[in-house]
Structure 1
Amino acid sequence: MKRRATALATLLLTGAGLGMLTVPAEAAPAAPTRTTAVCPTGWGSTQKTGTSAATASLVNIRTGRHDCFDRMVFHVPGVGSSKIGYRVGYVSRLYQDGSGNHIPVAGGAVLEVRVAAPGYDPDTGKATYAGKVNKPLPGVNLTGYRTFKDTRFAGSFEGDTQIGIGVRARLPFRVLQLPDRLVVDVAHTWGTAR
């Protein structure tokens, strides 16, 4: 009987000691949380235009990935801080200026970009941008992009360069003017978090 009481007392004391070592849930350290970038809102998806104050030739188009958007940059050296004319908007299909030929662009939506800068030198007719009609933009690799899915060069006609961007869906976008550059950003989502 004495052995049984001793064993029971030992068991109770051990259990009480273990209970004191446990940490209540509210005192336990929280699991690390992933920070969420707050993305800009209010860009909208309607057509955006800008008038031209200077003319020069397009020499390069490049892209970049950001937390909240995919970016396309049109490099027009010699413009400086003057405005570059543009018209950017969603279209049901991309049709080449001049010929009216349909240029297929992959993706859930097609964003047409017209930049008031030819892909050639107006004085000599020599190409300043290496794009080929109906082909993806040279030097642009969209692997890993969340929003951009395809690009197509539609050509330069009467001083404007026309391209199509295939995007995942009709998403908000903005157009920015920077020295010697025109920038088109297309958001990853309609919401405020990435």
Structure 2
Amino acid sequence: MLAGAGLTLAVPGTLGTASAAGSPTAAAAGCTAGWGSLPKVSTETDYKPLRDIRTGRHACYDRMVLDVLGPDAHGPIGYRVGYVEAMHQDGSGDVVPVGGGAILDVRVAAPAYDPRTGQATYDGRARQPLPDVDLSGYRTFQDTRFGGSFEGVSQVALGVRGRLPFRVFQWGNHLVVDVAHSWRGFR
């Protein structure tokens, strides 16, 4: 289950049933997966606008979900997610300060505006924490920053405790980024 912002979404491949506070079912399942820390990439995309970014806590990992707009719930969402030494904002190249022991650079082929009208579809401000995301009580997530949208790609910095295993997958109009709480069981 994916919880947050009033939405609950069953996601196949998750470890047991999770909620905003985690789950005994997932903990009993043993937190095992074939995740790693190398970049994850999908180059196919429909370039639908970014609508929202939210997070959730689970027994074995913390989750970030990027929601995109569009009538086709199964169109591909392009992305590149990987660890970086420093977050460089697209376009300017300026370094964006991000808290945490490691930084995941999340780039999604979903501009924060409607390309037809130019109207904003996401309220994020460049170099600022993500709006409406409170990381209090998270084990792995420590900071978020919106890098902005440049040439149809939105950039998000996710500060985490350390270089931990993660996975990325699409579920309908959602791009999901899960970061494990530890390496134990995720090799």
Q: Same fold (TM over 0.5)?
A: yes
Deviations 1:3-23 (A, max 9, x none): xxxxxxxxxxxxxxxxxxxxx
CA contact (8 A) 2:31 2:60 kept: yes
Alignment of 1:111-122 (within 5 A): 111-122=104-115
Provide the aligned C-alpha RMSD in A.
Answer: 1.3
CA contact (8 A) 1:37 1:67 kept: no
| Helix, strand or coil at the partner of 2:41 | strand
TM-score normalised per structure 2? 0.82
5+ residue gaps, structure 2, are 1-26
Task: Give the number of aligned pairs.
Answer: 159
Indicate yes or no: 2:166 matched with 1:141.
Answer: no
Q: Stretches of 4+ moved more than 4 A in 1? A: none
Alignment of 1:37-186 (within 5 A): 37-78=29-70, 79-186=72-179
Instruction: Using the TM superposition, name which of 49-58 and 159-168 deviates more.
Output: 49-58
Structure with the bigger percentage of helix: 1
5+ residue gaps, structure 1, are 1-34
**Which structure has the bigger radius of gyration?**
1
User: Cα distance, 1:36 vs. partner?
Assistant: 4.4
What amino acid sits opposite 2:51 in the alignment?
Answer: V
TM-score normalised per structure 1? 0.79
Structure with the bigger percentage of strand: 2
CA contact (8 A) 2:45 2:109 kept: no
Structure 2 distance, partners of 1:41, 1:176, is: 14
CA contact (8 A) 1:111 1:164 kept: yes
| Helix, strand or coil at the partner of 1:39 | coil
Structure 2 distance, partners of 1:36, 1:147, is: 20
Deviations 1:45-69 (A, max 9, x none): 0001002231210010000000000
